[in-house]
Amino acid sequence: MHDLVIRDIGHLVLEPGSELSNAWLAVTSGRVAAVGEAGTEPAAEQVVSVGGRTVTPGLVNTHHHMYQNLTRSYGPVVNGSLFDWLTGLYPIWAGLDEEAVYVSTYVGIAELLLGGCTTSTDHLYVHPRPNLVDAQIRAARDIGFRFYPTRGSMSLSVKDGGLPPDSVTQDTDTIMADSQRLIDAYHDPAPGAMTRIALAPCSPFSVDDTLMRQTAELSERTGVRMHTHLAEDVDEHTFCLERYGRTPVEHFEDVGWAGDRSWVAHCIYPSADEIQRLANAGVGVAHCPSSNMLIGSGTAGVAAMRRAGVPVGLGCDGSASTDHASLWLEARTALLLGRFAGGPTAMTARDALEIATVGSARCLGWEDELGKLVPGSVADLVAWHMDPVSLAGAHSDPVEALLRCGPARAWTTVVNGRILVDSGQLVLPGLADALTDHRRIATRLQHALVH
């Protein structure tokens, strides 16, 4: 007797190169127990029909800033450069507290679930008050979401030659002590973990050398992974040349981060030689296509990175650089952007889906369990819904149709064997209250800046 059987699957993507039509999938103890062809379904305590829809592994988000949904589409900065956007929003984010972070994380995870995401990292690098990552983890646990938060940080303020104001930075000793505390309290390296911790000094223009080196040393001692923004903007490139006398990637290497426990966000401006060095070191890249296009500062050379052997995953990034959190939309945008940049053979729907699943899992060092639906992998999956009108005529290739047609959203989302989206609706009792609180907190933060 299985815990759950998903039946009436029109097309099932198991992993790259392995697909099955007219299928079912069985779940036991939070893991995929078996798959098979329709008509041979086993018994289960719960049986759910997905009505002939396409089912894929749950999408894995490798870069986000959930707290930023409190400043979604914030008018004064939507048309600025990266540095304009950041300096305009830092004063608002200085008002974050535990309630604001809990609520924004709860709402952020809800939005991710509707977009087919079943595992997400998050990069909270603004810490005007203590215990903010703890608040994020409470929200994820209240929902039952597989969560990989990072202990972000900024130590280089304006007075030190950096970009952020003092109000959102911390000293290195405080950052390192809290990083160790979070690892001790929450990091679970065991198979099937629901919470893991990574360390994430924000960017070359907001942290100093000491913090980067000490973070690398803590990572080496504990085995936790590291994350940062890298080679994201031409202003960052100029900053590193002026301050350090080297490019952002060269600086990244110099402070001891070029290893297979690291993954970086954006990585738009590495040279061809730097791409190969990142690949040789095992550094992953979180590709954020919508963010890159909205900021207008270029986009990652995904095809070249994948050819070189760089693990490339998908990220939605935060607001207001990306004002949605649908990984389906990010995967479709990655497909379009890849073809726009490299021609019609440069990116297929299966390539984009692979980036969003097993590619993202590789960035997180979790490819043994995440991003696939084979016996033994974690039972994280999504059945996709599209209006029949949008699928009319799309009969020959369900995977291409998934990303070429649309829009698509989750009909059924399962995390760790538990249904969190059912018939297109979130199964989250606390959502209504969270949305009410979110509106109040977002209004307060933005009103405080004006006054």
Residue 297 has pLDDT above 90, yes or no: no
Residue 451 has pLDDT above 50, yes or no: no
Q: Tens digit of pLDDT for each residue in 131-183?
A: 999 999 999 999 999 999 999 999 999 998 888 889 999 999 999 999 999 99
Residue 320 has pLDDT above 80, yes or no: no
Average pLDDT over residues 115-135: 98
CA 211 – CA 201 distance, rounded (Å): 7
Per-residue pLDDT at 450:
52
Q: Tens digit of pLDDT for each residue in 18-48?
A: 999 999 999 999 999 999 999 999 999 999 9
CA 25 – CA 146 distance, rounded (Å): 20
Per-residue pLDDT at 385:
98
In this structure, the number of other CB atoms found within 10 A of the CB of residue 130 comes to 13
- Name the β-bridge partners of 415: 418
Q: With the C-alpha atoms ordered 5, 8, 13, 18, is the resulting torsion angle positive or negative? A: positive
pLDDT band at 80 (very low <50, low <70, confident <90, very high): confident
In this structure, the number of other CB atoms found within 10 A of the CB of residue 341 comes to 15
Angle among Cα 199, 202, 204 to the nearest 5 degrees reads 120
- Assess contact for 268 and 300: CB atoms under 8 A: yes
Q: Tens digit of pLDDT for each residue in 103-113?
A: 999 999 999 99
Q: Is residue 188 packed enough to be buried (19+ CB in 10 Å), middle (13-18) or exposed (0-12)? A: exposed
Per-residue pLDDT at 449:
65
CA 451 – CA 443 distance, rounded (Å): 12
Residue 383 has pLDDT above 70, yes or no: yes
Q: Tens digit of pLDDT for each residue in 350-361?
A: 999 999 999 999
Average confidence score pLDDT of the chain: 96
CA 139 – CA 114 distance, rounded (Å): 17
Residue 50 has pLDDT above 60, yes or no: yes
Angle among Cα 103, 315, 80 to the nearest 5 degrees reads 80
Residue 448 has pLDDT above 80, yes or no: no
Domains of the chain: 2-57+376-426 (2.30.40.10), 59-363 (3.20.20.140)
Per-residue pLDDT at 86:
87
